[in-house]
Every structure is written in structure tokens, then in C-alpha cells.
Structure 1
């Protein structure tokens, strides 16, 4: 075994020699990936360039799929009219409230199910019974309970993000290496110290992966909820554009949703980099 430098840092990580003499960088939790920042960007640029070329040459009908330049023009009209912020702020408020509440409750219930046999006996049957139900199918029921306003939309997002977090959290806690727990017990650590210093840090990669899944589901449910009885919101804008057959506005709305998803993914990646730096 030899040491190799860790990408982006001055520390060294162990590397193992394979049978053919090549060194294989290794880190706790998996092989050490090398960042390739510009490959993903290049893929997007090539796809958009081919799309634009196909639209301009008539290979792609503008009625079916308008050129990216037309969609960008609709986006700029949305910016100049001031409606972009109205739609985006409404969507962000619903997403932040619903996602934060769902993730927080899911983390609490998932931790309880992972650490307590009684809590698991109560929570897991309910999760198994309700999780497979499409959450958008429950939106009419939420409208009856909370009204057509913000309450039903936030409740839909909360409900959708809650269950992935519960499952991810207690599964991550279940998968914590028991050797680490026994090591903590051998050093006379109390139960609370073992949970706080060993179990939760070891389960954090799985918990953050569950957060990423919950965020994706939340954005999907946000759009679906805003298509029912919302004046402002990205989902309402997309629905209106579809009803008017304004495909350039429709593509602009979809692009905004894509950027929103990329932003949320980037934020979660920053959290992973901050809290999981010990894996390097």
C-alpha cells in the first residue's frame, strides 16, 4: 500500500497495488472520484447547439419544439415583465416550507425507528402502507383539509419528502458498522455519546442521499400542486403556457425548473462536502 495525494487537497490517501502493478486510489466509503467539471457543461453545450441547428434548418419543427433562442427570448420577457420573481418566489416559499418540514419530521421519525424497536414497530408499517401511494393522488384530500390555498400545496410537498427521509434515515442507521459501536462501548462511551459521535456521523452519507431524493420528489410535487388552483408559481406558468400552446414559454418554464433542480442538487453537494470531508 502506498500514499497518493487527494484531489483538491494536500493530504494523502492510501493507494493499493493491484496484481498488474497499477496503484488504485482508495478512500473510506469507496474509490476516490476525480472531478471532471467541464465534461457535463460540454454535454449541455453540444446538445443545445444541435437543438438550435436543427430548429434553424427546419429539421425540428418550431411548432413542436422551438429553438433554444426562442425559449431564451421568452425567458427574458418573463424577466423584464417582473413575473419571473413572482412565479419563482411563490414556488420557492412552498418548496422551502414543505421540504424543510418534511425532511425534519422524516429525520426525527427515521432516527427514532433506527434506534428504538418500539418506534420501528409503530413507524415502519405505516411507512410501508402509505409510501407507495402517489402523493399527488392525495392532493384533493389535502384541499378538503387545508383549502385551495398554500396549506394544501405545502402539505403535498411535506408528505412527499417525509417518507423518503424516514426510509433513508433508519436504513442508514441500520447499516452502521457494528464494530464501530462495539469500539465505542470498549472506550466506555455512554449510549448518547455513541449515537451522537458514532452512529449519526456514520449514517450521514445515507441520510444526505435520502435528502437528495426527497428534494427531487419535492420539486415534482411542487409543479403538480401548483397546476391546481395557483395564480403564481412555476407550475402555474407551465400549465398556462401549455394551455395557450406557447411552446417557447413552456420550454422556458421547464428550463427554470431544471435550474431550480440543479441549484438544490448543488446545495446538497456542498453539504456533503462540508459534513463528509472525513471520508477523503
Structure 2
């Protein structure tokens, strides 16, 4: 018998057919225009609803009026008088809290004695509403900037600690054992395996911590602050000036979007190895 095989036309056609790549690994694709379209759609709905009376002007101001308020804030210089102190308080408090939180979280993840001593303490102070501690911080640090820095730092510290040591715990142990089998030192394993593996969880925790920092910033500025976004919102609310009130809320939303974008840039720079 001959070893020659006869291929059918269907089999011959199938050999030349290309198959789409199926190993994308559920990698997210960037569609930035979708987010912008959602914002524009919601603003148009709000503008249409307030102009037609479908939405009461006592409930929601016109987006166009809020835009006019932004222009007045910018031309009068009040925007930077309020935004400058808020940004400095947010930056200083968040840097202190996040840096200490990452450091303590890494120590908890790496050393069992520190874990045994600090995890119960962190578990005890984590559920405490940080805003409720504002009067205590005022007593300790005064009514000035110190109490505001301390509140923001403490509010970002505990979630950062929890996210960091959780991320360290989730590093694949087989990679650590592989490094040990190749004779890598403890410091090299931490620097080349543990920290890169934990970085996605650490950055995710930073997103939550910075959102909490913005919330605490507003609460701190509503107590004993002449300038700041929180003081501006408090003043607008006491006068029932919805345009100014929503202008302050939009500024806070933009701060959240900007901080999230900055963390996204850091992720793309530090976590490019995942793609």
C-alpha cells in the first residue's frame, strides 16, 4: 500500500486559514473617549433637565451656571486661594501617611514578629472613623495645619498598611523558593521578587488611600480653615448657593480623577512587565 494520503478540498482550505490570537490574557484596552463621552452625556442630560424644568433648580443647578461660577473663581483669583492650601495639605498628609503605611506594611509582610505585634493593632484602629478623631487631633496638634496633616496622614496610613502586607502575602511563593534555590540573598529576593510582585496590590491600595485623603481633607478644612476647598464648600452650603457648592464638588472630583491618572501613569511605568 502507498503511504500517500489524499486531502479533501475542505482540509486543504483549512490549512491556509489564519486563526486569531487567543492569548491576550484579558488585558484591558484603553478607550479613553468612552469615559469622556459618559461625562458629556450626563452633563447634557443635567443641562436639558434643568432648562426644561424636569429637574428642579432647587435640587440641581444648571451646568452652564456652574461653569460661569468657575470663570468667576478664576478671574477673581479665589480659585487658587482655595486650591493652593488644599493641594499642599493633601500632598503633605498623603505623602506622610502613604510612605509610612508602605514601610510598615512591608515590614509586617516580611517579619513574623512584627506581624504578630502590629497586625492586631492595625486591626483595632482600622475600623475607627477617622473623621471622628478630628477633635482629638485638634487638641493634640492645634487648630492650625498640624491637625489637618495628622488627620490625612492617619487616614491614609491604615488602609495602605493593610493593602501592602496583603500584597506581600499574595506574592507567589514558588517564585521565592526558586530564588532561594538559585542562591539569591534575602535582600535580592525582596528587591527582585517580593516588591515587584506586591507592587500591583500596593498601587491599588494607594488609589483607595488617596480617595480617603480627599474626603478627610474636606472634613479637616471645614473646621478652622479660612481657605481651602472644604471651607469654600462649607461657606457655599451655609448660604445655599448651589452653583458655588457644585463648583467645589466638581473641583474635588477633578482632584480624584487627577490622582487616579497619576497612579495609572506610575502603574504603566513600574508594571510594564505584566503586559
1:66 paired residue number: 61
Spell out, residue by residue over 1:238-267, the C-alpha distance to the aligned partner (whole angstroms, 9 max, x if none).
Answer: 010000000000011100110111000000
Residues 71 and 248 of structure 1 are in contact (CA less than 8 Å); yes or no, is this contact kept in structure 2?
yes
Unaligned runs of 5+ in 2: 1-18
1:244 to 239, 242, 245: 239
Q: 1:128 aligns with which of 123, 130, 141?
A: 123
Is the Cα contact below 8 Å between 1:238 and 1:250 reproduced in 2? yes
Give the superposition deviation at 1:142.
0.1
Specify which of 174, 177, 202 is matched with residue 179 of structure 1.
174
1:90-101 matches, cutoff 5 A: 90-101=85-96
Q: Distance in 2 between matches of 1:237 and 1:25?
A: 51
| Bigger-Rg structure (1/2) | 2
Whether the 8 Å CA contact 1:25–1:32 is kept in 2: the answer is no
Q: Which of 263, 267, 273 is matched with 1:268 structurally?
A: 263
Taking structure 1 as the reference length, the TM-score comes to: 0.90
The CA deviation at 1:25 is 3.3
Q: Distance in 1 between matches of 2:140 and 2:28?
A: 48
* Structure 2 residue matching 1:24: 3-state secondary structure: coil
2:47 pairs with one of 46, 49, 52: 52
The structure with more helix, counted as a fraction of residues:
2
Query: Counterparts of 2:29 and 2:248 in 1: how far apart (Å)?
Result: 33
1:36 to 2:35 alignment: no
Cross-structure match for 2:209? 214
C-alpha separation between the residues in 2 aligned to 1:24 and 1:41?
30
Q: Which runs of 5+ in 1 are unaligned?
A: 1-20
Count of aligned pairs between the two proteins = 257
1:103–1:161 CA contact under 8 A, matched in 2: yes
What does residue 26 of structure 1 align with? Answer: 24
Higher strand proportion: 1
User: How much does 1:33 deviate?
Assistant: 1.2
Q: Say whether 1:225 aligns with 2:220.
A: yes
Aligned to 2:3: none
Matches of 2:221 and 2:35, distance apart in 1: 30
